[in-house]
Structure 1
Amino acid sequence: MKPWPLASRFSPLISPTVKSSVFRRFDTLMEWQECKVRKKVEVPVSVAYGLYSERESIPRWMTFISSVKVLKDKSDLSRWTLKYSAFGQNLEYSWLAKNLQASIASTLFVIPLPNQKIHWISLEGLPNRGTVRFFPQGPSSCEVELTFAYEVPLLLVPFATALQPLMQGMIKDSLELFAEIAKTTKTT
């Protein structure tokens, strides 16, 4: 099943249940592109999770992210800025992201799941969503899996598809740098 655009999750006017052809056409104008990379990191899962949880530190290993600022009044919200030079162009995008609580919902309460998953969705700006999952590999290492998806206009899908190896490479490089930084963090 094709994911609905971000707008459909926040607006009852643009939802899968609306029968209007005007709103259905909106969905066909956008498509999600996804990148997924997994990397072994030679630190305990708690160290990797703790480091990735510090959102304002993410530009240290995601060099195409120029800044992440957590909102002072709402710590689950953060403003992200991406800067990248490609094909002779300086690209800059920003978005407001909401961290979602990784948890198991029971009938009576919600149980947080630390050291397992961090995930987010953009609320405004560049439409994107993602998940960082942490898989223990014994007491002193783990695997980190980053899944990042972004929405592109349907007309640009062939271009975005052609850029998929570039995006995969950027995410792979980021996780490799994260692994190095995490190792250094563990020993300091």
Structure 2
Amino acid sequence: MVEHSASVIVKAPLHQVYELFTHFNDFPKFMSFVKEVTYYDDRRSHWAVKVVGQYEWDAVNEDWIPDQQVGWRSTRGLKNSGRVKFRALGPERTSVDVYIRYTPPTGPLGELGDRFGVNSYFDSILKKDLNNFARMVEEAPAGALDPMSSHYLFHPESAVHRGELTPRQKAAMERDPMMSPQALAERQAQIAREAEQRRRLKEEQEAELKRRRDHERQLQSEREIILAREAQKRQQERLEREAALRKAATTPLDPIHTYAARAHGLGDRDGRVRDPNWLQDPMTARRRSDKPEISSPPPTAQ
């Protein structure tokens, strides 16, 4: 048995991812190596894939757990089995892990596969188609549970677009009302309308973003002008204070504010002899008296 595995993270809720994956019959619409998935009933299906050569098998579903896991095993044709596990990584993120086991065919086809490295090639296309599944889900409307609602169907790499379907898959699609020419035309028109709505919404969002940026730039410019004016005002006030201090330092004092002027105003009331040269030297306008100080007599006893 050969084992393969691949994983992808889908930006969608767990339940939506699980439901969209279980529409096996829609795989050829967005996958490249799956050419047919048709149903016998709600548990049995027929598969056809092309990996180097084309392989087919009948499968039966088993070990299905809603929103957690789907499984299968082949009952006829290429022997294989597998599991697909789903894990929620958040409200809008889901991990999808695929595990496949199969027995390589014997004979010339198996030898050709070994020669061309079919195992590594299968790993690459498995990962590629898982990415196609993720994109199909992410381009479906929010909450959609039918792959036909997705915009990522029939892309250039899909089996449908490349015309690589089996006759049975083509017949099944022709019986599908959603695959009628009228339904497909309506689907395409709806996709065009939604694309136009997204374009207009994007333009409106960009215009609103530009308006907000312009408004922010205008406010920033006004703030810078106010700050510049305040800085200029503070600078002017500082210069005026410095000029006032320089002027005060160089202006002579008025004599009326000196000690000599105040002493002159007292006259002889301070009890000291006026110096004859007091006018020439106001700071020595008064000098101590040469007369001894007379102390008051002690009080007499009564």
Provide TM-score, normalisation by structure 1: 0.67
Judging changes above 3 Å, is the alpha-carbon distance between structure 1 residues 160 and 62 closer, same or farther for their aligned structure 2 residues? farther
Going by fraction, where is helix more abundant, 1 or 2? 2
- Choose from 41, 44, 63 the match for 1:77: 44
- Choose from 137, 146, 157 the match for 1:182: 137
- C-alpha offsets along residues 56-100 of structure 1, whole Å, 9 cap, x if unaligned? 0122333111110011xx31000111134x4xxxx2221100011
- C-alpha offsets along residues 163-185 of structure 1, whole Å, 9 cap, x if unaligned? 32211101100110000001112
Matched residue SS, 1:83:
strand
Asked whether 1:147 is paired with 2:99, we answer yes
Q: Distance in 2 between matches of 1:37 and 1:63?
A: 16
Asked whether 1:93 is paired with 2:55, we answer yes
- C-alpha offsets along residues 115-158 of structure 1, whole Å, 9 cap, x if unaligned? 10011000001111111110101111111011111102588589
Judging changes above 3 Å, is the alpha-carbon distance between structure 1 residues 45 and 81 closer, same or farther for their aligned structure 2 residues? same
Q: Which amino acid counterpart does residue 58 of structure 2 have in structure 1?
A: L
Q: Distance in 2 between matches of 1:160 and 1:172?
A: 21
Q: Contact 1:61 / 1:175 at 8 angstroms: preserved in 2? A: no
Judging changes above 3 Å, is the alpha-carbon distance between structure 1 residues 125 and 153 closer, same or farther for their aligned structure 2 residues? closer
User: How many residues get paired?
Assistant: 140
Q: Contact 1:134 / 1:145 at 8 angstroms: preserved in 2? A: yes
Provide the residue aligned with 1:108 in structure 2.
none
Asked whether 1:49 is paired with 2:6, we answer no
Asked whether 1:62 is paired with 2:31, we answer yes
Q: Distance in 2 between matches of 1:37 and 1:147?
A: 7
Q: Which amino acid counterpart does residue 100 of structure 1 have in structure 2?
A: E
Provide the residue aligned with 2:209 in structure 1.
none
Q: Contact 2:78 / 2:105 at 8 angstroms: preserved in 1? A: no
Tell me, which stretches of 5 or more residues in structure 1 are unaligned? 1-31, 103-112
Matched residue SS, 1:120:
strand
Judging changes above 3 Å, is the alpha-carbon distance between structure 1 residues 161 and 117 closer, same or farther for their aligned structure 2 residues? farther
Judging changes above 3 Å, is the alpha-carbon distance between structure 1 residues 159 and 83 closer, same or farther for their aligned structure 2 residues? closer
Deviation above 4 Å: which 4+ runs of structure 1?
153-158
- C-alpha offsets along residues 21-54 of structure 1, whole Å, 9 cap, x if unaligned? xxxxxxxxxxx11110111110111111001111
Q: Within 5 A, what are the aligned runs for 1:92-171?
A: 92-102=54-64, 113-152=65-104, 159=114, 162-171=117-126
Q: Distance in 2 between matches of 1:159 and 1:146?
A: 23
Q: Which amino acid counterpart does residue 184 of structure 1 have in structure 2?
A: E
Q: Distance in 1 between matches of 2:91 and 2:54?
A: 40
Matched residue SS, 1:114:
coil
- The sequence identity of aligned pairs, in percent, is 25
Q: Contact 2:86 / 2:97 at 8 angstroms: preserved in 1? A: yes
Going by fraction, where is strand more abundant, 1 or 2? 1
Matched residue SS, 2:86:
strand
Q: Distance in 2 between matches of 1:68 and 1:154?
A: 24
Provide the residue aligned with 1:37 in structure 2.
6
Higher relative contact order (CA 8 A, sep 6+): 1
Judging changes above 3 Å, is the alpha-carbon distance between structure 1 residues 64 and 161 closer, same or farther for their aligned structure 2 residues? same
Q: Distance in 2 between matches of 1:127 and 1:64?
A: 17
Provide TM-score, normalisation by structure 2: 0.43
Matched residue SS, 2:42:
coil
Tell me, which stretches of 5 or more residues in structure 2 are unaligned? 143-148, 150-302
Q: Which amino acid counterpart does residue 76 of structure 1 have in structure 2?
A: R
Q: Distance in 2 between matches of 1:182 and 1:66?
A: 20
Matched residue SS, 2:90:
coil
